[in-house]
Amino acid sequence: MDKHAVVVCGGGPTGLMLAAELALAGTDVAVVERRPNQDLPGSRAGGLHARTIEVLDQRGIVDRFLSAGTTAQVASFAGTSIDISDFPTRHPYGLALWQNAFESILAEWVGELPVAFHRREEVTDVTQDDDGAIVHLSGGRRLSAQYVVGCDGGRSVVRKAAGIAFEGWEPTTTSLIAELRTREAPQLGIKRDARGQHGIGPIDGGDDGWVRVVVREAHADDDAEPTLEAVREAMVEVWGTDFGAHDPRWISRFGDGARQAATYRAGRILLAGDAAHVHSPVGGQGMGTGLQDAVNLGWKLAQVVTGSSPDSLLDTYGAERHPVAARVIQGTLAQTALMPDEPRIGAVRDIVASLLVDDAPRRRLGGMLSGLDLRYELGGRAVHPLVGRRMPDLDLETASGPRTVFSFLHGGRPLLLELRDDANLDLGQPTPDSGRVQFIPATCRGPWELPVLGTVAAPEAVLVRPDGHVAWTGSLDDPALEVALETWFGSAASRAVVAQLAAVAA
Ligand SMILES: Cc1cc2nc3c(=O)[nH]c(=O)nc-3n(C[C@H](O)[C@H](O)[C@H](O)COP(=O)(O)OP(=O)(O)OC[C@H]3O[C@@H](n4cnc5c(N)ncnc54)[C@H](O)[C@@H]3O)c2cc1C
């Protein structure tokens, strides 16, 4: 039986990102995936919001994605566009990039890291005891691991094996989505009627007449096989013609239902991505939420399997990420409720749209949809507003020259940043090594401005977790620093930093 520290079940966006995070932290990780390669039959998700783009920037890989897609103001709420171009981030936009292209670029990066792949393998069950977990594969093979993570999508076998409830809302409507060709020029764009929203858009630049059709069905039908006949019928009902639809290369169905795992952890089994939360694609937040689950979990799991942090650190994963997906689900439920072109609903939609003209609601929803407003509850309301929020990618002047904050996060290591004024910064003195936590004295002119919140006071020092969220701010002689270091990175890391700070001060 093959043995790994962590087995990730499912190599979609979430599983790939998690495997990369674990490999960056030096963990022995394997991915089990039933697909023979990264190809997807259809385009699926249309892109990423700003915070997910930042997360890729934190790992130094964002240019690979930006150069393959198109940046644009993609955030919208129930059809009203929300411009975030004035948000304080290097990426005040979304990225239009189909999921199949996204996955192949991500897989290329993972291929550069020490990640084992078991492809063409189907997970059928996962069992666990006090000593470890076993992943059962369809051919009878088994893999053993200290921890198993289910990144195996909405119908997750891992979630079912762990006995984790997946409750929520049944779909009230379903839509067919298809990539096909038409014999006649189709009516491109969005069309609304009493059923809701439909659309036809060109794909592959419209070459060879390929289009993506999304058409809402007359009745919610989550079970029947989606067929070309059904797509053509629905197109005739909406547009009066199917424009000669033929040659489908992908047909699927999605609904406005939503479900979330009751817990993200049962012992040695954890869930991330669609295995933990599914909802309507409206708003386009599904893939990004899964990727950010992975970035929250990866470093924690790595520290637990190496013994540098206690197993209880894993509980912070669900505590932080469950509310995030719950909020995304709430947003998708609200948006799908506002979709139908019924006069009363249209009146509410118009009022919402009129409110979004004002700056405060625009910023608030823009922060929510882009994910740039995320704050994990790490220390009560009295702490500095940075705590729990994402660290801005500010320009720094360091002993090794000008750097950005994110450039220190490429390797997935924690960062203790001491912010001095120019006069005190000894640029000639590299600091001694502090083990896993990087200690970097720097100067920073700011501006210390957070999305939605605005300007905040510049901190004296900041402890940044590998996922880019701030764990602590204060002065280096604050005893709370030692507590934060131990809480997040274990006692050995805490001792190493304290010893280094003492050496620097001496
Ligand atoms: C039509 C549509 C449009 C969407 N649009 C957007 C959008 O615009 N923006 C957005 O962010 N999100 C969108 N989404 C959602 C997005 O596609 C998902 O949130 C995303 O794919 C989730 O990634 P994941 O890795 O968690 O799960 P998945 O992508 O489902 O990956 C799961 C992986 O596990 C593998 N697997 C499953 N079961 C097993 C098993 N038993 N054994 C081995 N392997 C297994 C699968 O082959 C797959 O590779 C859309 C989804 C759909 C369907």
What ligand 1 atom has the least distance to the C-alpha of 285?
11
What is the spatial distance between Cα 296 and Cα 307, in angstroms, rounded to a whole number? 18
Predicted local confidence at residue 427, as pLDDT: 44
Tell me the CA–centroid distance for residue 45 and ligand 1, in Å: 8
Mean pLDDT of 472-478: 93
Tell me the CA–centroid distance for residue 380 and ligand 1, in Å: 35
Those residues whose C-beta lies under 8 Å from the C-beta of residue 351, and which sit 6 or more positions away, are none
What ligand 1 atom has the least distance to the C-alpha of 137?
42
Q: Whose CA is nearest to atom 37 of ligand 1?
A: 152
Tell me the CA–centroid distance for residue 255 and ligand 1, in Å: 14
Q: What is the DSSP string of 269-281?
A: EEE-GGGTEE--S
Tell me the CA–centroid distance for residue 274 and ligand 1, in Å: 6
Portion of the chain with pLDDT greater than 90, in percent: 83
Contact 157, 265 (CB under 8 A): no
Tell which CATH architecture fits domain 395-505. Answer: 3-Layer(aba) Sandwich (3.40)
Mean pLDDT of 51-67: 98
Q: Is 95 a residue whose pLDDT tops 90? A: yes
What is the spatial distance between Cα 277 and Cα 269, in angstroms, rounded to a whole number? 16
Q: Is 209 a residue whose pLDDT tops 90? A: no
**pLDDT (tens digit, 9 = 90+) per residue, 22-39?**
999 999 999 999 999 999
Domain ranges of the chain: 1-46+102-172+257-314, 48-97+340-374, 174-255, 395-505
Tell me the CA–centroid distance for residue 277 and ligand 1, in Å: 11
What ligand 1 atom has the least distance to the C-alpha of 14?
25
Predicted local confidence at residue 390, as pLDDT: 98
Q: Is 422 a residue whose pLDDT tops 60? A: yes
What ligand 1 atom has the least distance to the C-alpha of 214?
1
Predicted local confidence at residue 380, as pLDDT: 63
What ligand 1 atom has the least distance to the C-alpha of 252?
1
Q: Whose CA is nearest to atom 4 of ligand 1?
A: 45
Tell me the CA–centroid distance for residue 263 and ligand 1, in Å: 20
Predicted local confidence at residue 434, as pLDDT: 57
Tell me the CA–centroid distance for residue 469 and ligand 1, in Å: 25
What is the chain's mean pLDDT, rounded? 93
In a 3-state reduction of DSSP, which class is residue 320? helix
Q: Whose CA is nearest to atom 35 of ligand 1?
A: 10
Q: Is 218 a residue whose pLDDT tops 80? A: yes
Q: Is 66 a residue whose pLDDT tops 70? A: yes
Q: Whose CA is nearest to atom 15 of ligand 1?
A: 286
> Any residues with Cβ below 6 Å from ligand 1, and which?
9-15, 32-35, 44-47, 99, 122-123, 151-153, 157, 177, 252, 254, 273-274, 281, 284-288, 290
Mean pLDDT of 162-191: 94
What ligand 1 atom has the least distance to the C-alpha of 275?
26
What is the spatial distance between Cα 381 and Cα 305, in angstroms, rounded to a whole number? 32
Predicted local confidence at residue 423, as pLDDT: 45
Tell me the CA–centroid distance for residue 287 and ligand 1, in Å: 7
Most confident of 193-202, 388-397, 420-429: 388-397
Those residues whose C-beta lies under 8 Å from the C-beta of residue 489, and which sit 6 or more positions away, are 303, 308, 309, 414, 436, 437
Predicted local confidence at residue 203, as pLDDT: 84
Those residues whose C-beta lies under 8 Å from the C-beta of residue 379, and which sit 6 or more positions away, are 387, 388, 472
Q: What is the DSSP string of 56-104?
A: HHHTT-HHHHHTTSEEE---EETTEE---TTSSSS--SEEE--HHHHHH
Predicted local confidence at residue 433, as pLDDT: 52
Q: What is the DSSP string of 435-471?
A: TTSEEEEEE-----EETTTEE-PPPSEEEE-TTSBEE
DSSP, res 387:
B
Predicted local confidence at residue 194, as pLDDT: 81
What is the spatial distance between Cα 336 and Cα 58, in angstroms, rounded to a whole number? 33
Domain 1-46+102-172+257-314 class in CATH: alpha beta
> Count of residues for the chain?
506
Predicted local confidence at residue 394, as pLDDT: 97
What ligand 1 atom has the least distance to the C-alpha of 274?
26
Q: Is 169 a residue whose pLDDT tops 90? A: yes
Mean pLDDT of 69-84: 94
**More confidently predicted of 430 and 13:** 13
Q: Whose CA is nearest to atom 48 of ligand 1?
A: 12
Tell me the CA–centroid distance for residue 154 and ligand 1, in Å: 7
Spatial CA neighbour of 106 closest among 141, 157, 182, 55: 55
Structure tokens at 304: 């637990």
Burial per residue of 251-272, b for 16 or more beta-carbon CB atoms within 10 angstroms, e otherwise: bebbbbbbbbbeebbbebbbbb
Predicted local confidence at residue 165, as pLDDT: 98
For the domain made up of 174-255, give the CATH fold: Alpha-Beta Plaits (3.30.70)
Q: Whose CA is nearest to atom 50 of ligand 1?
A: 45
Tell me the CA–centroid distance for residue 252 and ligand 1, in Å: 12
Predicted local confidence at residue 501, as pLDDT: 87
Q: Would you place residue 199 in the very low, low, confident or very high pLDDT band (cuts 50, 70, 90)?
A: very high
Q: Is 357 a residue whose pLDDT tops 80? A: yes
Q: Would you place residue 424 in the very low, low, confident or very high pLDDT band (cuts 50, 70, 90)?
A: low
Tell me the CA–centroid distance for residue 266 and ligand 1, in Å: 22
What is the spatial distance between Cα 391 and Cα 123, in angstroms, rounded to a whole number? 37
Those residues whose C-beta lies under 8 Å from the C-beta of residue 125, and which sit 6 or more positions away, are 135, 136, 157, 161
Tell me the CA–centroid distance for residue 12 and ligand 1, in Å: 6
**pLDDT (tens digit, 9 = 90+) per residue, 4-14?**
999 999 999 99
Spatial CA neighbour of 180 closest among 221, 229, 220: 229
Q: Would you place residue 184 in the very low, low, confident or very high pLDDT band (cuts 50, 70, 90)?
A: very high
**pLDDT (tens digit, 9 = 90+) per residue, 279-304?**
999 999 999 999 999 999 999 999 99
Pair type for strands 2-9 and 29-33: parallel
Mean pLDDT of 477-488: 94
Q: Global pTM?
A: 0.95
Q: Whose CA is nearest to atom 53 of ligand 1?
A: 44
Measured CA to CA in angstroms, residue 159 lies from 124, 125, 181 at distances of 11, 10, 38
